[in-house]
Chain A
């Protein structure tokens, strides 16, 4: 599934004293099983942008083409779009409402018109993907811990089997093991099913580890759209707009300045370790 965003503009509360341009001139294209990261300071327009992608917010001007079809033309089937583009909001566990976890996860697929049986099958598969243990399926979602609730809520969207999965800070407030676990599962899903994943995050380390492509938002504009490695070489500009690079990237830059023969492109711990070892071997050989 291809989504093409053309000259997208969005103005909040247009014509009132609170008018604010949230998005300006956004252009990009996604599709075909990528893992895309979106970063930006709070208020940069990230959440507004992703809500355009499944038609929850209508652009003030500009176009969104899904598989070539303009979603703003009369009679466009938004229900179909929302079936294909799944959106996991911040703190999705606040939206759990059913009596049991399993019923909650079934809600989406049943709304898609699947039978009870098909919905159950989907729900169980989705729950298994998020790593929530089977003993909790019949529990009330409100009895679960924070991390377990988060998994149940993400499963609710996965059960709809979206072709594009958008997650808005899915790991905020989770402990490091829970964070790694959920992101690993999502990355696995993306590879396995060839779906497109869009991850909005404030963790540069997570973005560096998982994303193949990185979009940077600043004051409603798209500032960078490139591989994480390339984007993080602009770390000084990123700092000016409330962001940063992963800590290892800073280490590599400092080493380079101190005359170490390392490339400063490493953005993950394992890449950095390999690069440092290689550089030390070279100096000792010569």
Chain B
């Protein structure tokens, strides 16, 4: 499989400055991070507040540049000026608060903003707008004002805006933190559909553990380092480690863990409610 992202000992130091703007120290937000992501994968990054997740995400589309080590996005070193726009075009970002990301007064205008900025011809823009709104299930709202949409719908419009730029990779930084349960489900389904239908690489940063049970791989960050990585089964079977890193496991996993501790013969690596129900029915 082709490589989408690769980091080599990626380091990022934030400068600490006093009121006059003089540098008074620095803080290491990323500490020798080595991550590889292949094209078309669904990857999740988990970690406590301040663990470096968002700092890492901002390196993927060159909003931040390494202060040490290297990050390659779509094969390009993000520090090379010549490939700056190639990097920006390869990776699109969606943030937590949809209200801070939507600028158009009509849904379709908002979605067309990105490709227009890239200099895409008008006809092609309209084609992309239609396709991307369709991909996130929002085509029927194209003429509406974004203000009238629910949180989940706004966030799907934000995703469509990124999709219209045809990136190879979408980075979603806590896209569901402000949404109700159904809105959360809609946003996640829209992102995964893009991966399935268009082969877009999806990188999801979240605090909701049940959103990542279908990921190909999880990276757990703490204090700027990758401290755990593996399939959801491998990572979530380490319930105590996850709690130590200020994280959680899906409720089904936690319940399985508690039952196992109580002496029941529940298999390891349960992630979904269906798996737990099956396992328990065998004990009856």
Contacts and interface: CB of A to CB of B under 8 A. Distances in A.
A9 B184 CA distance: 29
Given A258-B281, A273-B255, A42 B181 contact: no
A277 interface: yes
A194 B277 CA distance: 40
B174 interface: yes
A72 interface: no
For chain A, the bracket of interface size reads 35 or more
A172 B183 contact: no
Tier of interface size on chain B: 35 or more
A114 interface: no
Contacts of A173: 49, 96, 174, 177-178, 207
B284 A174 contact: no
B235 interface: no
A175 B273 contact: no
Given A204-B181, A280-B283, A147 B277 contact: no
B158 to A, nearest CB: 14
Interface in B85-144: 96
B251 interface: yes
Contacts of B179: 42, 202
Contacts of A270: 258
A186 to B, nearest CB: 18
B277 A255 contact: yes
A177 B48 contact: yes
Interface of A: 39-43, 90, 145-147, 169, 172-179, 202, 204-205, 239, 242-244, 246-248, 250-251, 254-255, 258-260, 269-270, 272-273, 276-277, 280, 283
Ranked 9 nearest A-B pairs via Cβ: A177-B246, A176-B248, A42-B151, A247-B251, A242-B182, A244-B181, A175-B48, A273-B258, A147-B49
Interface of B: 47-51, 96, 150-152, 174, 177-184, 207, 209-210, 243, 246-248, 250-252, 254-255, 258-259, 262, 264, 273-274, 276-277, 280-281, 283-284
